[in-house]
A = this chain, B = another copy of it.
């Protein structure tokens, strides 16, 4: 277990001072001949500057990624792309998960501070407003992705155009002839929850369809809340029962679908279904699901660009809100409602 060479070893080998080596490392002004000697010495010794020493001086090449849960394929793919984008820019990613628990989130934030990360990309649970803003006070650049917190109005946000996406899914069902359309989404305390339900309601309003509170289910992300919501919706009296369903959050798709299968619901004859986020398996189930496809690579790219841009101070002050377009992909799980069925 030999030890790695330090900057002084390099300086000695190249016959210069440590200052010069440091300048070579950080593109300071160094004579060409000198630089070559140093570069040669670095190569020969296989020297690599230690991140810890650099960070001690404020420099920073690490960002924190705070996600709810890697079990959710949406977050998993987001993480994959973010790590990828960061790598391309020479930045490392420290990954943390909150499991949607504000308490764990708080702990996570504290840890991020010790690690003196320069920036953070996060999907906030919704709580810990004071902690998030303290993080910012301490000079850590923060970018919310997917979700946001309204009270933190000075924070950059990257997300899909939630309202429009939910609206277009709703319009699609209305266009097929559906009048009773249910929506399952995140809690109304989350930005995605409110925005998507707002989009849903505005589409209904535009079509002159009254909205019915019984058809709107803002449920928790974790656990079987999706399944329970589905069961409740289908337990409604026949006349009030929805003929269309939008599952507006990836986290609830799985348990909702499982419940539908267990109940033996015939899709789309009895119920048309549209779900948020296109996973590899949405086209493997039967029938293949109509989905709102989120451009995950765009979300990742913009998040990383933003947070690094802030860290390098090359972005104007004032928050940036980047909304990218999501795409509606029509497959076989949505069709015109069955008029006979709905009156039996």
Contacts and interface: CB of A to CB of B under 8 A. Distances in A.
A75 to B, nearest CB: 8
Contacts of A93: 94-96
Contact of A51 (B79, B108, B116): B116
Interface residues of A, number: 55
Nearest to A110: B48
A50 B115 CA distance: 6
- Complex copy number for this chain: 2
A128 B93 CA distance: 22
A154 interface: no
Interface string A42-54: 0000001111110
A324 interface: no
Interface string A29-70: 000000000000000000011111101100000100100011
Contacts of A286: 285-286
Interface string A112-140: 01111000000000000000000001110
Interface string A279-304: 11101111000000000000000000
A110 B87 CA distance: 12
B96 A83 contact: yes
A97 interface: yes
B92 A111 contact: yes
Nearest to A56: B52
Which of A65, A110, A111, A257 has the most CB atoms of chain B within a 10 A radius of its CB?
A111
A12 interface: no
Interface in A245-298: 254, 257-258, 261, 279-281, 283-286
B71 A84 contact: no
11 contacts: A2-B138, A4-B138, A48-B114, A51-B114, A52-B56, A69-B80, A71-B77, A71-B80, A80-B97, A83-B95, A94-B94
Interface of A: 1-4, 48-53, 55-56, 62, 65, 69-71, 73, 76-77, 79-80, 83-84, 87, 92-97, 99, 104, 107-108, 110-111, 113-116, 137-139, 254, 257-258, 261, 279-281, 283-286
- What 9 A-B pairs come out closest when comparing CB atoms? A76-B76, A70-B80, A52-B55, A281-B281, A95-B95, A1-B139, A286-B286, A254-B280, A52-B52
